[in-house]
A and B are shown apart, each in its own frame.
Chain A
Amino acid sequence: MIQTIRNFFIALRQIAVGDKKYYLWVSLLSFLVLLGASAYISQLNRGLIVTAMRDQVSWGLYISNFTFLVGVAAAAVLLVVPAYLYNFKPIKEIVLFGELLAISAITMCILFIMADMGQPLRVWHILPIIGAMNFPASLLAWDVVVLNGYLAINTAIAFYVLYRLSIGKEYKMSVIGPLIILSIPWAVSIHTVTAFLYNGLSSRPFWNASILAPRFLASAFCSGPAIMLILFQIIRKLSEVEIDNKAIFKIAELIAYAMGINLFLLGAEIFKEFYSGSIHSAPIEYLYFGLHGHNKLVPWMWFATTMNITAFFLFMFPKTRENFTTLNMACLFVVTGVYIEKGMGLIIPGFIPDTLGEIYEYTPTMQEILVTIGIWASGALLYTFLLKLAIPVYTGKLRFFSKAQIVVARDIMSRRMALVHPETPVTDLIRQMIEKHLSGAAVVDENNRLVGAVSDTDAISLEIGETAGKTTADVMKPPSAAVLQDVRIQDLGKILAASGTNLLFVVDGDGQPLGTVAGSDVLNALENIRQE
């Protein structure tokens, strides 16, 4: 019990204490949240009449944002698949941040639905058992099930991993493996069900197209990862987390495929609507060319289309997607493009013209925009707090108390290290060590087993001598300074003294390196134990 309380305060402190930039960011977000909250309170008091929605266009900005964010949440799966199924290590290390993003995105989805409800206090009516959930007839009931399920799965995975790391243990795949496998079809399901929500309505010809679900998935798999790419770059800039360029470029490559499919599906839709030219093409005509002189969405749609096509080309060529300036431009373009296309560009034309042919042009009111900003800010705040807690746990800086206070190598090691292969050119090896400010590199074979080590003194001697044409194999030393992960700290000191180096590699039972322990780490840990 006392441990739990102590750990709670450790977590609280971790979130509450930060540097100036952190406080500035958090207060900016809090301000926006308050702004949104005050707009929402006035909506609560006066009703949804403060929005621009009316009987003709009965859903607007809130449901648009909801739809976009379901896609962002679903896209976390794009990271999970290669990470766990194909064991693509560079992505595996960052999948946690993707899952935290999914948690934040789903939370925002739920907030948008709440903001859109006429009677939010009655939300319990939708629950099974205590309410009267219309399952399986209503697709909205399905959406409640899959979205909350997805939130639960991702929360369980992320928090289990963080919990294990925080008490200094590796997580067990036997525990979360099944959950991870489950999360893959589940992520597809949240977006499919959300598409079916619109797709299933015969009253709305614009939505009633079987291409909608595939389009949803394709556009989600471009915009979601694009948001992550930007966030990953911010994370690695502001923290000690290492995110390999390989992972970033791999994700960018996946976006290129998704983008291509997305544009193809859009083209197929446009062809069908305009070539067949039935009265059901009125909404898409409204969208791209205007209808009976009403054309408020037209400039937005062409803007979005331009953004998407430009982004597609930037992602397609390795030269532009592996250059951070053009890559970030492409990410911004695709996020903007998809936000318009499947937000307002999808919801509004479902209602224009309405079922009796009336055209009511919808432009969100200031109140709607403020509530929307407030919800986005709460999502960003949640993600910030989650990262603030997760990053130090992940890098090993933050540890919680657990029952057994036996400190072993794994608890104090640093997960940052340079991993090279024997055939890696020496020039690459040196660059990695300099870039990451490391005093040693682990040399691994194709099975990721430790076969040698390069220390900074070895590297210095290389810098003085001739590097051209040499590979790591020429300079590495046998891995004499490797310890198993569960060696107790008291023994580490002795091993360090005996090995004559300042850097020990920590390996698991298979001989795969997990991290490094420096003399200073051991000294710090011993001092901490003495004080307690």
Chain B
Amino acid sequence: MEQDESRQRGMHRRDFLRGAALGLAGLALPLDRADASFWEAFFQKHFREMNDEEIKQVISRLEKEYAQKFKKQIEIGADKPIPGVLYGYGLDLSRCIGCRRCVYGCVAENNQSIDPQIHWITVLRFRKGEKWVDLENSEKYYSPEKVPEEEYFYMPVQCQQCENPPCVRACPTQATWKEPDGIVVIDYNWCIGCRYCMAACPYGARRFNWGAPNRPEEKINPKTHYLGNRPRYRGVVEKCTFCIQRTRKDPGRYPACVEACPVGARKFGNLLDPNSEIRYAIEHKRVFRLKEDLNTSPKFYYFFAYGR
């Protein structure tokens, strides 16, 4: 009982401090935007500090905001990690034809801004028979008539969902963190847009909303997750979440890029399940991970199913 009381007092003090500091900061705000939901958004707590009830409230506020903005109902999920699941990704470089269907599948699913253009997947093109994965001489903006091209091979890169993610360590506000199922997520309402995580990421996986994200209403995917593909704001960082809105459902769905790949180069599954496809690939193929020397320990495995 006593303990309970002191905890409450602690909370009060904390809330008071927060209120006092923010009240002062609030004086500097533009007045025309000072409606109630603006203040609620401003005072919103860190995602991991909120209890289920508070998360529900925030989500209903956000759904209202989105409905107003996009003139359609957008559903924001907050599915929790499934116990006993650690997601892993495999990419068969011997199959990839560089068609970028994964890139566009991802954009259709994850509500990225169309203008300014944001892609979460970058496909790199390398010349065969020279150096191996020579990033400095890779081409990101290739555009031939037809793919695949005889003299090139392709390597899609997206967030590697590192077990030891440098971006999470860098973030000064804990706005990005690794979930128990291994997915590195971002709270778009907590990110201050300092972009230190982008400097820290060795894989160029993080994207910043330099301008206000723009996406026609009819192209908005209404099935979203709070930590995933819900519409973002100007001035915050975003990135691949292994389609958290799909993969955390039970039964789940493959990430959009896996579904979009016409040649089956993309594999996805539970690293903790010995019978999963991804475990099969890791155990039977010659896998490698990008920039292994940095000890980031990606859960994104590249491999070769067959030689060509």
Residues of A within 8 A of B (CB): 46-49, 51, 53-56, 58-59, 113, 116-127, 129-134, 137-141, 144, 197-198, 201-204, 279, 282, 292, 350-351, 353-358
Per-residue A-contact encoding for B68-89, CB less than 8 Å = 1, 0 else: 0000000000000000000000
Rounded to whole angstroms, the CA-CA distance of A119 and B44 in the bound complex is 14
Other-chain residue from A119, A124, A279 in contact with B136 (beta carbon distance below 8 A): A279
Beyond A134-B173, A354-B204, 10 additional pairs, beta carbon < 8 A: A49-B211, A55-B207, A59-B199, A119-B193, A124-B25, A138-B169, A138-B172, A140-B170, A350-B199, A353-B135
Other-chain residue from A118, A139, A144 in contact with B170 (beta carbon distance below 8 A): A139
For A46, A282, A354, A358, the residue with the greatest tally of chain B CB atoms inside 10 Å of its CB is: A358
Least CB separation from A355: chain B residue: B204
Other-chain residue from A118, A197, A282 in contact with B209 (beta carbon distance below 8 A): A118
Q: Chain B's nearest CB lies how many Å from the CB of A399?
A: 33
Per-residue A-contact encoding for B233-262, CB less than 8 Å = 1, 0 else: 111110000000000000000000000000
Contact B194 A116 (CB under 8 A): yes
Contact B49 A132 (CB under 8 A): yes
Is B18 located at the chain interface by the 8 A CB criterion? yes
Q: Chain B's nearest CB lies how many Å from the CB of A268?
A: 23
Contact A125 B173 (CB under 8 A): yes
Chain A to chain B contacts (Cβ below 8 Å), 13 pairs: A49-B211, A117-B192, A120-B192, A122-B191, A132-B46, A137-B168, A138-B171, A202-B166, A202-B295, A203-B200, A350-B199, A355-B202, A357-B137
For B194, B206, B237, the residue with the greatest tally of chain A CB atoms inside 10 Å of its CB is: B194
Residues of B within 8 A of A124 (CB): 18, 21-22, 25
Rounded to whole angstroms, the CA-CA distance of A422 and B272 in the bound complex is 88
Is B42 located at the chain interface by the 8 A CB criterion? yes
Residues of A within 8 A of B36 (CB): none
Which residues of chain B in 25-41 are interfacial with respect to chain A, using CB atoms and an 8 Å cutoff?
25, 29
Contact B209 A58 (CB under 8 A): no
Contact B195 A58 (CB under 8 A): yes
Given contacts A47-B211, A357-B138, contact A131 B195 (CB under 8 A): no
Is B198 located at the chain interface by the 8 A CB criterion? yes
For A117, A133, A202, the residue with the greatest tally of chain B CB atoms inside 10 Å of its CB is: A202
Rounded to whole angstroms, the CA-CA distance of A125 and B187 in the bound complex is 12
Residues of A within 8 A of B175 (CB): 125, 132
Other-chain residue from B49, B172, B210, B295 in contact with A126 (beta carbon distance below 8 A): B172
Given contacts A119-B235, A140-B194, A201-B166, contact A130 B22 (CB under 8 A): yes
Q: Chain A's nearest CB lies how many Å from the CB of B284?
A: 28
Q: Chain B's nearest CB lies how many Å from the CB of A209?
A: 15
Given contacts A133-B172, A202-B166, A354-B204, contact A47 B195 (CB under 8 A): no
Contact A130 B21 (CB under 8 A): yes
Other-chain residue from A49, A119, A140 in contact with B236 (beta carbon distance below 8 A): A119
Residues of B within 8 A of A292 (CB): 136
Contact A140 B172 (CB under 8 A): yes
Rounded to whole angstroms, the CA-CA distance of A113 and B255 in the bound complex is 37
Contact B135 A126 (CB under 8 A): no
Residues of B within 8 A of A56 (CB): 204
Is B221 located at the chain interface by the 8 A CB criterion? no
Per-residue A-contact encoding for B126-137, CB less than 8 Å = 1, 0 else: 000000001111
Contact A134 B172 (CB under 8 A): yes
Is B208 located at the chain interface by the 8 A CB criterion? yes
Contact A138 B170 (CB under 8 A): yes
Contact A122 B200 (CB under 8 A): no
Other-chain residue from B135, B170, B192 in contact with A125 (beta carbon distance below 8 A): B192
Contact B136 A357 (CB under 8 A): yes
Other-chain residue from B42, B122, B236 in contact with A118 (beta carbon distance below 8 A): B236
Is B12 located at the chain interface by the 8 A CB criterion? no
